[in-house]
Amino acid sequence: MREEPGLLDYARRWPLRLMVGTTFVFLYAPLFVLIAFSFNDSRRTARWVGFTLDWYKAAFADRELIAALGNSLTIAAATTLLSLILGTLAAIALWRFRFTGRAAVDGAFSLPIVAPEICMGVAMLIFFARVLPWPVGLPWPLNLGAIIIAHVAFAFPFVAVVIRARLASFNREMEEAARDLGAGPWRALADVVLPHLGPALVAGALLAFTLSLDDFVITFFTAGPDTVTFPVKVYSMVRFSVTPKVNAISTLLLVITVILTFIALRLQARATAEKPA
Amino acid sequence: MGTIIEFRNITKRFGPVVAVDDVSLTINEGEFFALLGPSGCGKTTLLRMLAGFELPTRGQIFIDGKDISRAPPNRRPVNMVFQSYAVFPHLSVLKNIEYGLRMDGVPAAERRARAEAALSLVQLEGYGERMPDQLSGGQRQRVALARAVVKRPRVLLLDEPLSALDAKLREELRFEMSALQDKLGITFVMVTHDQDEALVLATRCAVMNKGSLMQVATPADLYEFPASRLVADFIGSVNLFAGNVRSEEANHAIIDLPELGISAWLDHGTGTSETVQLWLALRPEKVELMKRGTTDRPPVMEGTPPGYNVAAGTILDIAYLGSESVYDIRLDGPETGKEGKRIRVIRPNLTRWDQEDFTWDEPVWIGWHAEAAHILQQ
Amino acid sequence: MANELDWHRNKSGFAALLGPPLGWFLLFFAVPMAVVWAYSFGTNSGIADIEISGTFANYARALEPLYLGILGKSLAFAALATLICLIVAFPVALAISFAPPQLKTWLLIGVMLPFWTNLLIRTYALIAILRDEGLLNMALTSAFGWAGVGPLAIMNSNMAVMIGLVYVHLPFMVLPLYAALDRLDRSLIEAALDLGAGHVRAIFTIVVPLAVPGILSGLLLTFIPVLGSYLAPDLLGGPDSQMIANVIERQFKRANDWPFGAALAFLLMYLTLFGIAAQAMMQRKRPVD
């Protein structure tokens, strides 16, 4: 016998089920269509003809596209590393110390999170054009420096937020116990605080990686002709023509993102679930 | 007084868990009825089924003879005082109390008048414009009470109504709730895990355990004539000794208590045979404590009726509680040299020097009257 | 908090911790923003030279009917998209917050996953649905073709932009609403039902008012990114569905009028900061819990 829904079990009442179902169809149908047509044996993407992996072959044969993907992954990796360091430092500093202007610093660090992307993109364009011109013709991957700097500038505050949330659940008496047992302040930080941050560090890293990999607008304003990233490349392809090659490479990126997001969400859930007693 | 509520073979499952197991129970009009039991015993589920928040898996619930088992909460003539009070934080006290009347389409003027009357009933005149976060816990509890009674329900449901308050306030509100029930004359059904609360407030209690009813009785009967060891142990504290009937007469019985090495008199028959396992239940305050000195002979007390029972023991521990003292005594038992059964005895400290009468490791006699003990068969 | 350290007690440690992030922020966020801000008061004085002349001409030009129209349209688009998001997201958030734990986790992941997938890919995916020969039209024609319903020209219209904006930003609304609804004490709803309200009335008299802080933050969290949207109008819209971000981009990449672009960008920035300040003020007025 099926149990009937509880009084407040709104998720199991049909009007809401219908609404949730429709919303999820709305959210996912375009993505599934995109994936399906990456296997479609036709140039016209609207009608299903037959299964093929040709578009994947074509995508991998496209040197520019693969170079763009390589750039994106390199930038994302560098951004992750730098954002993780800066975000963790910022989070610990704001958590550890009392100082005048802390509220101001705290608020300032949230600006890159809320500022419209287009404004940041424009700012980076002007900055690297007029204030700090990034040398042209540097060997790879140094030529990606400007983009990495821009990405770190908006990614590290996100990391700081994740780490702060985790620090809030840290029992400060543990650090005091380490000090009491003879550890110096840095030693205590490394031995007790950092291990506690573990899951948040992984979640923050994945967050920075996805943010960097996803970003189009800011990169669009920072990238030069020889520093094309994956989204910028896809953008120009989409503007030019729609081919299943784009579907194929998008599907690959989707799979990467889904896996990373899944890991991040799981870790995040575990990190917030462990509350101090 | 007629029946107002009837639970007929009510069972409630949550997945594989049976929260309420085939409970049948009637509650009479005008009663202050308490559902008492340890947490997880199903008492709250029973109350929530009465309110309509849970639907029974099997069975029926009647109010005034009408089957309301599947009626939604807003179509039932009952109102509830929640454990967390559930006072709407975004509405003023008066708006909170008026909420239910507004849902019923009561005209504004009457609504206001009835809400004001309910406010004064719970002694919160002048608090109508306050917001809930400006009230103390006790005041919020009163708002929850007023909000529920203003709808003039047939039955008022109370889910652990006093559990969130501190001890002093709890005592105060107990008396107020009793008075309120007298004044309103409506049936109250309360869920509580606090036996004191149930004994003080209720006219009748149902003790529940693991989804089943253990006993339904008045507070005094629950205490003096518990139906099982479980009830005896849950309501107050009790000493239990296993035994068998040795002989049974018209007006008394003699019970063998092998753990004590004695046979005890009982002022009533047991209606069982010698082979049936029995337990003698003895409340700590019904046991007397006497000095033993060096004699091994039980004291012959003047005017002691036949059937006064005596056993020897030694004081292990004494807890001085001010109004009374609790003695933990090891009985000598049937075999010398072996550790005997322990018994708890409570003595009121009648004078300021009472607690100095007995001391640790002192040999004592314990005794009880034939009318003091109660026989349990389960 | 009691265990916080006054920075005077460990100046070097404090500097080592806060120095790098603060330095990065100042050099690579604050300075670029300040330069944009300065440019917004500048004039073009040559092919590549810009003189910071302190003029308000750029802002004045931004308020000319043409650009004011685009700004107004952007605001209207953003408001409408935010409203649609609210209407769609509220029941979804309600269902999620009252779902049993296992289902709840999956629904939450379901909502957040698109949030993390590439914005460009999602917008591109929408094109395949909305095109004249796209899936939506194919479905429409095959279902209602007998009734004379032909393919609709959705692509390159305001309608397509609106669908895109809602599609992309829905998770921004669901998550804060969910956070607010999940905190709600269930016995409040039970109390409302107990006092005679039906489900719908209980939701509108109790749940919605108590979710107001969550609704406000959801509105803000959705409105700000929608207002600055670039990709959806660019890829899905027609010539008359340009939003402010597209105009800003044009000033920098094509028209080469940086001071004017800077002024427009900062108009957007002012609106954003205003929205955040307004919300912060409202939150202060309404003490949480």
**Shared-domain flag, residues B35 and B175:** yes
Nearest partner of C244 among C222, C223, C226, judged by Cα: C226
Any chains having at least 3 CB pairs less than 8 A from chain B are A, C
- What does the pLDDT read at residue A53? 80
Residue C288 has pLDDT above 50, yes or no: no
Residues linked to residue B14 through DSSP beta bridges, in sequence order? B17
Residue C248 has pLDDT above 90, yes or no: no
The answer to whether the beta carbons of residues B51 and C194 sit under 8 Å apart is yes
Mean local confidence (pLDDT), A76-95: 89
Return the residue of A nearest to B72 by Cα: A7
Taking the CA atoms of chain A, what radius of gyration do you get in angstroms?
23
Mean local confidence (pLDDT), C245-269: 83
**Shared-domain flag, residues B117 and B46:** yes
Of the residues B47, B55, B75, B76, the best mutation for testing chain A's interface (the one with the most A CB atoms within 10 Å of its CB) is B55
**Shared-domain flag, residues B263 and B336:** yes
* DSSP-assigned letter for residue A40: B
- What does the pLDDT read at residue B367? 85
What CATH number is attached to the domain comprising B330? 2.40.50.100
- Chain-chain contact of A122 with C36 (C-beta, under 8 angstroms): yes
**Shared-domain flag, residues B253 and B225:** no
Task: Tell me which residues of chain B have a C-beta less than 8 Å from any C-beta of chain A.
Answer: 13, 15, 52-55, 72-73
Which string of b and e fits A46-76 if b means at least 16 CB within 10 Å? beeeeeeeebbeebeebeebebbbebbbbbb
Whether A2 and chain B come into contact, CB under 8 Å, resolves to: no
Phi, psi of B193, rounded to the nearest 5 degrees: -105, 0
Q: Which residue reads 């380490």 in tokens?
A: A178
Q: Mean pLDDT: which of B3-12, C53-62, C265-274 is highest?
A: B3-12
ipTM: 0.81
Sequence-separated (6 or more) residues with CB below 8 Å from residue C22:
A90, A105
Rounded to whole angstroms, the Cα distance separating C120 from A235 reads 7
- Chain-chain contact of B103 with C201 (C-beta, under 8 angstroms): yes
Length of chain B counted residue by residue? 378
- What does the pLDDT read at residue C102? 79
**Shared-domain flag, residues B66 and B167:** yes
Mapping DSSP onto H, E and C, the string for A3-58 reads CCCCCCCHHHCHHHHHHHHHHHHHHHHHHHHHHHHHHECCCCCCCCCCECCHHHHH
Of the residues C6, C24, C29, the best mutation for testing chain A's interface (the one with the most A CB atoms within 10 Å of its CB) is C29
Whether A3 and chain B come into contact, CB under 8 Å, resolves to: yes
pLDDT one digit per residue (tens) for chain B, 378 residues: 689 999 999 999 988 889 999 999 999 998 999 999 888 888 999 999 999 888 899 999 999 989 998 888 888 999 999 988 889 988 999 999 999 898 888 899 999 999 999 999 888 888 989 999 899 888 999 999 999 999 889 999 999 888 878 888 888 888 888 888 888 889 999 999 888 888 888 999 999 999 899 999 999 999 999 989 888 988 888 988 888 888 877 777 888 888 877 788 888 777 777 778 888 899 999 988 888 776 666 665 554 556 788 888 888 888 888 888 899 988 886 665 566 788 899 988 888 777 667 888 888 888 888 888 888 887
**Shared-domain flag, residues B323 and B276:** yes
Residue C220 has pLDDT above 80, yes or no: yes
Domain that holds residue B321: 237-376
Ranges of each domain in chain C:
67-283
A241-245, B208-212, C29-33, C44-48: range with lowest mean pLDDT: C44-48
- What does the pLDDT read at residue B208? 92
Q: What is the DSSP string of B1-34?
A: --EEEEEEEEEEEETTEEEEEEEEEEEETT-EEE
Specify burial of residue B40 (Cβ count, 10 A radius: 0-12, 13-18, 19+).
middle
Closest in A86, A175, A186 to C21, CB measured: A86
Rounded to whole angstroms, the Cα distance separating A60 from A82 reads 30
Closest in B55, B72, B73 to A4, CB measured: B55
From chain A, pick out residues whose CB is under 8 angstroms from the CB of C95. 10-11, 16-17, 19-20
**Shared-domain flag, residues B111 and B148:** yes
From chain B, pick out residues whose CB is under 8 angstroms from the CB of A6. 54
Closest in A7, A85, A122 to C261, CB measured: A122
Any chains having at least 3 CB pairs less than 8 A from chain A are B, C
From chain B, pick out residues whose CB is under 8 angstroms from the CB of A3. 13, 15
> Confidence class of residue C1 from pLDDT cuts 50, 70 and 90?
very low
The answer to whether the beta carbons of residues C114 and A28 sit under 8 Å apart is yes
Which 209-248 residues of chain C touch chain B by CB within 8 A?
209-210
Residue A40 has pLDDT above 80, yes or no: no
Name the CATH superfamily, with its identifier, for domain C67-283.
Answer: MetI-like (1.10.3720.10)
What rounded mean pLDDT belongs to chain B? 86
Sequence-separated (6 or more) residues with CB below 8 Å from residue A27:
C110, C111, C114, C167, C170
Nearest partner of B208 among B197, B200, B216, judged by Cα: B216
From chain C, pick out residues whose CB is under 8 angstroms from the CB of B88. 188, 191-192, 206, 210
Q: How far is C198 from chain B (nearest CA, A)?
A: 6
- What does the pLDDT read at residue C130? 79
Nearest partner of C214 among C115, C113, C288, C106, judged by Cα: C288
**Shared-domain flag, residues B174 and B101:** yes
- Chain-chain contact of C116 with A149 (C-beta, under 8 angstroms): no
> Confidence class of residue A277 from pLDDT cuts 50, 70 and 90?
very low
Whether B80 and chain C come into contact, CB under 8 Å, resolves to: yes
**Shared-domain flag, residues B63 and B158:** yes
From chain A, pick out residues whose CB is under 8 angstroms from the CB of B76. none
Closest in B13, B15, B53 to A7, CB measured: B53
pLDDT in tens, C71-109: 888 889 899 999 999 999 999 998 888 888 778 888 888
What CATH number is attached to the domain comprising B139? 3.40.50.300
Residue A201 has pLDDT above 90, yes or no: no
Of the residues B50, B80, B88, the best mutation for testing chain C's interface (the one with the most C CB atoms within 10 Å of its CB) is B88
- What does the pLDDT read at residue B255? 84
Residue C289 has pLDDT above 50, yes or no: no
Residue A160 has pLDDT above 70, yes or no: yes
Give me the number of domains chain B comprises: 2
Residue A270 has pLDDT above 70, yes or no: no
**Shared-domain flag, residues B252 and B143:** no
- What does the pLDDT read at residue C237? 80
Alpha helices in A37-138 (DSSP H): 54-61, 63-96, 102-114, 117-126
- Chain-chain contact of A257 with C118 (C-beta, under 8 angstroms): yes
**Shared-domain flag, residues B190 and B319:** no
Q: Which two structure tokens, joined as six digits, stand for C72?
A: 């107004």
- What does the pLDDT read at residue A46? 64
- What does the pLDDT read at residue B62? 93
Which of B233, B260, B292 corresponds to the end of one domain? B233
- Chain-chain contact of A90 with C22 (C-beta, under 8 angstroms): yes
Q: Domains of chain A by range and CATH?
A: 56-273 (1.10.3720.10)
Q: Return the percentage of chain A with pLDDT > 70, whole number.
A: 91
B113-117, C70-74, C188-192, C235-239: range with lowest mean pLDDT: C235-239
Which of B180, B201, B233 corresponds to the end of one domain? B233
Residues linked to residue B345 through DSSP beta bridges, in sequence order? B327
Whether A6 and chain B come into contact, CB under 8 Å, resolves to: yes
From chain A, pick out residues whose CB is under 8 angstroms from the CB of B53. 7
* DSSP-assigned letter for residue B75: G
The Cβ of residue B229 has, within 10 Å, a number of other Cβ atoms equal to: 15
- What does the pLDDT read at residue B114? 92
Which of B198, B214, B233 corresponds to the end of one domain? B233
Q: How far is B189 from chain A (nearest CA, A)?
A: 21
3-state secondary structure of A227: coil
Chain centroid, CA A18 distance in Å: 31
- What does the pLDDT read at residue C129? 80
**Shared-domain flag, residues B177 and B296:** no
Q: Which two structure tokens, joined as six digits, stand for B153?
A: 């329900």
